[in-house]
A and B are shown apart, each in its own frame.
Chain A
Amino acid sequence: MKMPLVAKASACVFGFFLFLKLGLPLFTSPLPYSVLAMYMILVLISTLLYVSIFEDDYSNFYLPIVKFLRGDEGDNAVRKMSRIAVFVMIPLFMGFRTYKSVQPNFEPPFPQRVIHPAPPGSAAGFVNPYGGDEANHEKYVQEGRKVYYENCVFCHGDKLDGKGFFANALNVKPANFADPTTISMLQESFVFWRVKTGGIGLPEEATPWDSAMPRWELILSEEERWKAVMFLYDYTGWKPRTWELDAE
């Protein structure tokens, strides 16, 4: 038996919706609502275009709907009931949506927080003084370990996963260095800048008033800060992002 065009069209729209909503998140991060809405409008318009492009198709598509809405004398009880149900459900649903949208919705001001803001120009000049010294690398890393475990471990954690025992008290969660999207995506100079000036040194789009990252230049020497950065990369096994890699 041939599938009615209406069923085909709705299956197509619904199938796309399911794919975008449930299928896609299996491979990548879930779509934001606005993007999902945009895709679905495109799907809907193309479907309607498809069914209305030929006259035959169009009447095949349109007539069953018209018949359903109009109601025919020969309709059986099921058809009648579902017709009434549709006519009652739509206004109720619209009323509900209206209630939801006019209902006072108190949401705290929500800043669009930039996680990796552009560092100030001065940050580009930070160069690791121990960078080329391969012979003493291990020594510096061990000194960095000491700095980390005397200062950073409380928030960033023993596993460098941002789950130190103070972490739950914080609103902006401490960075998880083990995560492939943190220090491995950043240049050493950027990481150093973040350590040096801390949360309070962030530009306004990164909500400096909320970040608990201390301004370590007040507490640690420049040498200690570089060694701590070296320890982060050594422990996690990540390599800092470099200009050479970018150029490739």
Chain B
Amino acid sequence: MLNSLLNKSWLKALPLLFLAVVLLFGWTPLVAADEEHDDAAPTAETAEENALPTDDLAAGKMIYEKLCISCHGIEGDGDGPAAVRFQPKPRSFKKAKYKYRTTPKGKLPTDEDLFRAITLGLPGTGMPDWADVLSEKKIRQVIKYIKSFSDEWEKQESSPHVVTVGTVVPTSPESVERGKKQFTALGCQLCHGTEGRGDGPTASALKNHRGDPVYPRNLNKNWLFRGGGKAEDIYVRVNTGLSGTPMPEFSGALDNEKSWDLANYVRSLSPEKTPERGSLIKARSIEETIPVDPDDPIWQEGEPTWFPMMGQISFEKRLFTPSVTDITVKSVFNEKEIGFLLIWDDRSKSKTSKPGAKKISFTDQVAIQFPEKLQPGGVKKPYFIMGDEKLGVNLWNWTSEDNRFFETNAYGVWNNSEVEQSGSDISGKGYYKNGQYRLVIKRSFQTSDSEKDIQFEKGIFYPVAFFAMDGTNGEKGSQRSITPWYFVFMEPEEDKSVYYYPPIVIALVFGLEFILVKILKKNHKKENV
């Protein structure tokens, strides 16, 4: 009786084994891409940890000469090698003019102010956050050394007045509204612009204490605020101003509540969370003709994709201080066409300067880059900056000055290979308002020139990259803001068979279970007989 059960038991164990495997690993094939893991590793600590001098000043000097001289210079006058291409220039500790303080404008900062700047760094500049490399003790030692570069520190009054953040006025529509009134009443828009994009009428003429041009902050991107992007940081900033720049201190005009209102308003100009770098533009399917008006309701819908940009520094002429820091993209498609909405901030609407003008400027320009042709497998691409000799790129360009849409092909930056096409298949509309460009470019999927123009189909990933040039910043040709390759994708209509298979599988498995139980019961009865 038991024997017969055991003889058959191997067979019976099979479905169990099968079920167990499925339950453990699911239905997916047993191959999957290796997950990438963070290669975060601690920065190499200095080996001379134990050999550090006990004297704080000497220890600070040692750290300074290892970590700080590249920008701030061995003499502390802000002329290290990095000063050549950094804008803004590294601080001169000899001049001791510090922008980010809690003390009144023109006064020296507190040690805590310096500690903060070193620990958190200055976002958007070459000054990194040092907290992962330097202990608090070491930072204090460096501060001591930095202060030794200027005798201003000895001359200062004993305890400077320090702006402290008073009772918090939490952000609310009312507070933001009051802050907006403050913003206008204090004249902030004269430099920072009506919507705060650093495009005010006086913005282009501003200079710092060195005579270098300075640009009012674009208040719509708080992740680039040097002194911190939180409301309380803004509170301190409007009360203390920025020494060595035209940014005034408004402490005389602002009490605690007004400071908070203004800070809440400025904070409200930026998104609640810093946007995350996208990798794929998912085009949205629409029935209608693609509207060329960037303000059309169709363009209000759909999730935008955000791409940070960098200066082109691979080929001469290089651009180390780009003006356009990021671009926001939406895409839609219908049966025949694909369209893109591009949104990017620019301090000014630029014009080509006349010959012999003191300040040279060009038109503002933007381009969407595609490969001329997709390569088999879709992995291989042209070089991401304007292609290469073997694989060309197809560029959709727009210049703001003459509102011109045109296509080019390029085969590398280094050989001036960009050629304009005789006819253009793209169309669209763009405009500049309050420090921001909004532009629609569209094209039909197929064109008559399949050699030079990318041809589109649904369900395929197309490499795409973006370029932007701010003509007032002297950007032209290879001097431009760039992105690496990303993808754009048009999802094809859903295949209904997706909904047929699962019920079939459920029925089958249920049937198998039923048969299994039947067999088990039958055997059991036999044993009991």
B9-36 interface code vs A (CB 8 A; 1 in, 0 out): 1101100110111111111101111110
Question: A70 CA to B5 CA in the complex, in Å?
Answer: 14
Given contacts A62-B9, A176-B39, A219-B316, contact A90 B33 (CB under 8 A): no
Stretch at the interface among B171-179, B339-347, B395-403, B479-487: B479-487
Interface contact B489-A92, CB-CB below 8 Å? no
Nearest Cβ distance between residue A246 and chain B, in whole angstroms? Answer: 22
**B residues less than 8 Å from A34 (CB atoms):** 30-32
- Smallest Cβ-Cβ distance to A161: which chain B residue: B43
- Smallest Cβ-Cβ distance to A109: which chain B residue: B378
Interface size on B, residues (CB 8 A): 101
**A residues less than 8 Å from B308 (CB atoms):** 168-169
Judged by a CB distance under 8 angstroms, whether B383 is at the interface is: yes
Interface contact A209-B380, CB-CB below 8 Å? yes
- Smallest Cβ-Cβ distance to A68: which chain B residue: B520
Interface contact A69-B22, CB-CB below 8 Å? no
- Smallest Cβ-Cβ distance to B5: which chain A residue: A59
Question: A4 CA to B84 CA in the complex, in Å?
Answer: 76
**B residues less than 8 Å from A210 (CB atoms):** 381, 384, 484-485
Interface contact B513-A106, CB-CB below 8 Å? no
Judged by a CB distance under 8 angstroms, whether B205 is at the interface is: no
Judged by a CB distance under 8 angstroms, whether B423 is at the interface is: no
Interface contact B41-A101, CB-CB below 8 Å? no
Given contacts A166-B310, A168-B308, contact A66 B520 (CB under 8 A): yes
Stretch at the interface among B56-64, B103-111, B152-160, B490-498: B490-498
Taking CB atoms and an 8 Å cut-off, the chain B residues in 113-163 that contact chain A are 124-128, 130, 133
Interface contact A95-B314, CB-CB below 8 Å? no
Judged by a CB distance under 8 angstroms, whether B510 is at the interface is: yes
Interface contact A101-B506, CB-CB below 8 Å? no
Nearest Cβ distance between residue A217 and chain B, in whole angstroms? Answer: 11
Interface contact A40-B25, CB-CB below 8 Å? yes
Taking CB atoms and an 8 Å cut-off, the chain A residues in 141-179 that contact chain B are 145-146, 148-151, 153-155, 157-161, 163-166, 168-172, 176, 178-179
Nearest Cβ distance between residue B81 and chain A, in whole angstroms? Answer: 4
Question: A95 CA to B501 CA in the complex, in Å?
Answer: 8
Question: A170 CA to B388 CA in the complex, in Å?
Answer: 19
Judged by a CB distance under 8 angstroms, whether B461 is at the interface is: yes
Nearest Cβ distance between residue A195 and chain B, in whole angstroms? Answer: 13
Nearest Cβ distance between residue B224 and chain A, in whole angstroms? Answer: 9
Given contacts A104-B495, A153-B82, A210-B381, contact A171 B484 (CB under 8 A): yes
Judged by a CB distance under 8 angstroms, whether A132 is at the interface is: no
Given contacts A70-B517, A100-B27, contact A218 B44 (CB under 8 A): no
Interface contact B520-A70, CB-CB below 8 Å? yes
Interface contact B313-A154, CB-CB below 8 Å? yes
Interface contact A97-B27, CB-CB below 8 Å? yes
A contact patch SS: helix
Given contacts A150-B82, A200-B388, A212-B314, contact A181 B24 (CB under 8 A): no
Judged by a CB distance under 8 angstroms, whether A223 is at the interface is: no
Question: A4 CA to B360 CA in the complex, in Å?
Answer: 86
Taking CB atoms and an 8 Å cut-off, the chain A residues in 98-138 that contact chain B are 98-104, 106, 108-111
Given contacts A178-B44, A180-B41, A214-B313, contact A159 B133 (CB under 8 A): yes
Nearest Cβ distance between residue A216 and chain B, in whole angstroms? Answer: 9
Question: A169 CA to B459 CA in the complex, in Å?
Answer: 27
Interface contact A178-B128, CB-CB below 8 Å? no
Name which of A41, A101, A158 has the most chain B CB atoms within 10 A of its CB. A158
**B residues less than 8 Å from A159 (CB atoms):** 43, 128, 130, 133
Question: A236 CA to B5 CA in the complex, in Å?
Answer: 70
Given contacts A91-B510, A108-B489, contact A149 B82 (CB under 8 A): yes
Question: A207 CA to B378 CA in the complex, in Å?
Answer: 12
**B residues less than 8 Å from A111 (CB atoms):** 379
A210-248 interface code vs B (CB 8 A; 1 in, 0 out): 101011001100000000000000001110000000000
**A residues less than 8 Å from B491 (CB atoms):** 106
Judged by a CB distance under 8 angstroms, whether A94 is at the interface is: yes
Judged by a CB distance under 8 angstroms, whether B311 is at the interface is: yes
**A residues less than 8 Å from B521 (CB atoms):** 70
Interface contact B513-A90, CB-CB below 8 Å? yes
Judged by a CB distance under 8 angstroms, whether B529 is at the interface is: no
- Smallest Cβ-Cβ distance to A90: which chain B residue: B509
Judged by a CB distance under 8 angstroms, whether B336 is at the interface is: no
**B residues less than 8 Å from A170 (CB atoms):** 310, 484
Nearest Cβ distance between residue A8 and chain B, in whole angstroms? Answer: 15
Interface contact A98-B128, CB-CB below 8 Å? no
Taking CB atoms and an 8 Å cut-off, the chain B residues in 372-395 that contact chain A are 377-384, 388, 391
Judged by a CB distance under 8 angstroms, whether A81 is at the interface is: no
Judged by a CB distance under 8 angstroms, whether A27 is at the interface is: no
Given contacts A166-B311, A204-B380, contact A236 B27 (CB under 8 A): no
- Smallest Cβ-Cβ distance to B484: which chain A residue: A171
Judged by a CB distance under 8 angstroms, whether B356 is at the interface is: no
Question: A154 CA to B485 CA in the complex, in Å?
Answer: 19
Question: A236 CA to B43 CA in the complex, in Å?
Answer: 8
**B residues less than 8 Å from A236 (CB atoms):** 44
Judged by a CB distance under 8 angstroms, whether B80 is at the interface is: yes
Given contacts A30-B37, A154-B313, contact A48 B506 (CB under 8 A): no
B51-76 interface code vs A (CB 8 A; 1 in, 0 out): 00000000000000000001100000
**A residues less than 8 Å from B46 (CB atoms):** 237
Q: Which 9 A-B pairs have the closest CB atoms?
A: A97-B27, A166-B310, A169-B310, A109-B378, A214-B314, A149-B81, A95-B506, A149-B82, A171-B484
Taking A101-B28, A159-B133 as known contacts, 13 extra A-B pairs with beta carbons closer than 8 A to each other, sorted by chain A number, are A32-B35, A40-B24, A92-B506, A95-B509, A104-B492, A106-B489, A109-B461, A149-B70, A154-B313, A176-B39, A178-B41, A212-B484, A218-B316
A-B residue pairs in contact (CB < 8 Å), sample of 9: A48-B13, A59-B5, A69-B517, A108-B461, A146-B81, A149-B81, A180-B44, A200-B388, A218-B414
| B interface with A by C-beta (< 8 Å) | 2, 5-6, 9-10, 12-13, 16-17, 19-28, 30-35, 37, 39, 41-44, 46-47, 70-71, 80-82, 84-85, 124-128, 130, 133, 277, 279-280, 307-311, 313-316, 318, 320, 377-384, 388, 391, 414, 459, 461, 482-487, 489, 491-492, 494-495, 497-498, 501-503, 505-507, 509-510, 513, 516-517, 520-521, 524
